[in-house]
Amino acid sequence: MNYYIITGSSRGIGRALVDQLTNDPENEVIGIARSYQQAKKNYHHIEFDLGNIEELKSQVSHFFETVKAPKRVVLINNAGTLGEIGHVGSLSADGLEQVMNLNVTTPTILMNEFVRQFSGVQAEKVILNISSGAGKYPVDGWSAYCASKSALDLFSKVVAEECILNENDIKVFSVAPGVVDTEMQSQIREAAPEQFRTKGKFVKLKEEQMLSAPASVAQKLLEVINFPDRFSEVLLDVRKF
């Protein structure tokens, strides 16, 4: 069996990944999100708030407990949030904490557990983190989001290097998905323009139908998972392959 553990499986890119992966009866998909509808036979849902770090620390080892003698095991850290859109000085401390919890602390805890549990297991092993172009350059109004994705990228690069040093045979990627037509983009277009001067660019992209469909992005991500040896870099951008 192939096992896929996907965070943020209820909608957007995560949901599109679940829809495609569950078409194959050889795949068992374990999704983690606060909500989910319409379960398939080979989909197992864990209803969980991944922003709750205390709870995560006590539960994380159980997330992988249904994985038995895997042929392939894949962790997809997809859940993410933009948080409050606004300039620094106008943000709440709770909001800043939430972004860092969900976008940085949670995926690092999950990666740590994955490496701990599967390092010695003979299987194809992949960690795929969903990053963002916004982790590579500043966007006004998105300070915490940009910083969180930048942190995820560098953490991924360190894990990838350690996996080579320790001969774990775990492939690690941090992939920017492009601009994708999901609820996250709706939130961007609804932001107050004075808190986010770049807003016009995203409104225009939608008007000109330049957003990618979640299903086509999921297809690209599956290419990385299915053929990891074709990709020599840790940091990838789906618009470039």
Ligand X SMILES: NC(=O)c1ccc[n+]([C@@H]2O[C@H](COP(=O)([O-])OP(=O)(O)OC[C@H]3O[C@@H](n4cnc5c(N)ncnc54)[C@H](OP(=O)(O)O)[C@@H]3O)[C@@H](O)[C@H]2O)c1
Q: Which of 220, 80, 93 is nearest to 149 (CA)?
A: 80
- Considering the rule CB under 6 A, would residue 184 count as an interface residue with ligand X? yes
Interface of this chain with ligand X, residues 16 to 45, rule: CB under 6 A: 33-35
Mark whether 137 is an active-site residue: no
Please choose, out of 17-25, 47-55, 120-128, 192-200, the segment that lies near ligand X by the rule CB under 6 A. 47-55
**Which region, judged by CB under 6 A, interacts with ligand X, from 17-25, 46-54, 220-228, 231-239?**
46-54
- What is the nearest approach in angstroms of ligand X to the Cβ of residue 179? 5
For the chain, give percent helix, strand, coil, nearest 5.
45, 20, 35
Give the nearer residue to ligand X in terms of CB position, either 123 or 130: 130
Q: Which string of x and - marks every residue 106-145 that binds ligand X (by CB under 6 A)? A: ------------------------x-x-------------
Report the residue number, 119 or 185, with the smaller CB distance to ligand X.
Answer: 185
Among 2, 22, 27, 78, binds ligand X (CB under 6 A): 78
At CB < 8 A and 24+ separation, what contacts does 94-100 make? 95/144, 96/144, 98/51, 99/144, 99/145, 99/148, 100/144, 100/147, 100/148
Distance CA 241, CA 230 (A): 11
Question: CA end-to-end span of the chain, whole Å?
Answer: 28
Work out which of 17, 21, 30, 79 binds ligand X, going by CB under 6 A: 79
**Residue 140 buriedness (CB in 10 A; 0-12 / 13-18 / 19+):** middle
Query: What does the DSSP 8-state code read for residue 164?
Result: H
81 forms part of the interface with ligand X (CB under 6 A): yes
Q: Among all residues, which ones are annotated catalytic?
A: 145
Give me the residues that bind ligand X (CB under 6 A), please.
8-14, 33-35, 49-51, 78-81, 102, 130, 132, 177, 179-180, 182-185
